[in-house]
């Protein structure tokens, strides 16, 4: 008999308008030109850009809290908070004064580019002649996060005397695809809007298993935070410590309502 298990966890996650024209500004990060739905603008000699794009490019997970007009961005080592029209920004436990506050412009939340990029440990240069901003950010660890989840999961299994899981590329692709689907279609669940379960998706991908399970999470801004949350939840913990599972694939994707989505796909393959 095929055994199936899954569990879900997530972290919950009229304005002042200044009139000015778009300024034909180009923004490059690590050599690649960034594209914004709302072009950058200049106010008080500061370049402002849509918050979600710039923070996601800086490998930060983003949330918008409309009731108190607040933007938050998080990464493992840093948390940034801005309030619309506030002259200060909060970086971890420090208060940073801003030359120009975050604003609402053309229904986009715009944040001061230099201030937020430098708070995220990036270097920023401005070329006035070409009207170009060049950002150099530290090398991203994002691509390694899935493998880090495997390491942390196996550490928990070792503590409990359970054999480690091996990495499976097919399951990782399945998990990443589900994360991207949750972002693209704005849902958070094991079953997608078409009614497909995790096990339907495995079979559709040609993955044959004797036992399988799935954990999903959203809003956790590091592998450590995601695995800790799963271990503190009985259903997720049960999947992580299930000795019947032998392989694991991990998917992770940025974007959507919660900023970042995670999926662990467990199996004992036929």
Which range is least confidently modeled, 15-29, 80-94, 238-252?
A: 15-29
pLDDT for position 36 = 94
Six-digit token pair at 23? 């300024």
Residue with tokens 């060049």: 134
Residue with tokens 């691509």: 143
How long a stretch of residues is the chain? Answer: 270
Residues 91, 73: Cα–Cα separation, whole Å: 10
Contact 13, 67 (CB under 8 A): no
Least confident of 24-33, 140-149, 239-248: 140-149
Instruction: Supply 5's token pair.
Output: 């298990």
Taking only the tens place, the pLDDT of each residue in 55-107 is 988 888 888 999 999 999 988 778 999 999 999 999 998 999 999 999 999 99
Cα 217 to the center of its chain, rounded Å = 11
Angle at CA of residue 219, ends 193 and 143, nearest 5°: 95
Cβ contacts of residue 160 below 8 Å, gap of 6+?
Answer: 241
Report pLDDT digits (tens) over 204-217: 999 999 999 999 99
């Amino acid at each position: 008999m095929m055994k199936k298990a899954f569990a879900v966890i997530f972290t919950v996650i009229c304005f002042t308008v200044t009139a000015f024209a778009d300024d034909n500004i180009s923004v490059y990060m690590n050599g690649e030109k960034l594209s914004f739905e709302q072009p950058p603008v200049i106010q008080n000699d500061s370049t402002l850009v849509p918050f979600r794009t710039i923070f996601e490019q800086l490998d930060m997970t983003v949330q918008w809290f409309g009731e108190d007009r607040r933007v938050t961005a998080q990464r493992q080592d840093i948390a940034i908070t801005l309030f619309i029209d506030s002259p200060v920004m909060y970086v971890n436990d420090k208060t940073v004064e801003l030359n120009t506050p975050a604003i609402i412009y053309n229904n986009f939340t715009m944040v001061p580019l230099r201030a937020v990029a430098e708070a995220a440990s990036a270097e920023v240069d401005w070329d006035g002649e070409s009207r170009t901003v060049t950002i150099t950010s530290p090398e991203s660890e994002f691509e390694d996060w899935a493998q880090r989840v495997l390491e942390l999961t196996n550490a928990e299994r070792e503590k409990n005397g359970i054999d480690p899981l091996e990495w499976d590329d097919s399951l990782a692709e399945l998990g990443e695809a589900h994360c991207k689907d949750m972002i693209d279609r704005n849902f958070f669940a094991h079953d997608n809007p078409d009614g497909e379960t995790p096990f339907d998706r495995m079979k559709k991908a040609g993955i044959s298993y004797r036992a399988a399970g799935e954990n999903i999470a959203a809003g956790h801004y590091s592998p450590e935070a995601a695995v800790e949350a799963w271990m503190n939840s009985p259903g997720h913990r049960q999947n992580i410590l299930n000795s019947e599972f032998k392989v694991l694939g991990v998917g992770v994707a940025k974007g959507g309502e919660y900023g970042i989505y995670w999926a662990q796909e467990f199996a004992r393959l036929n």
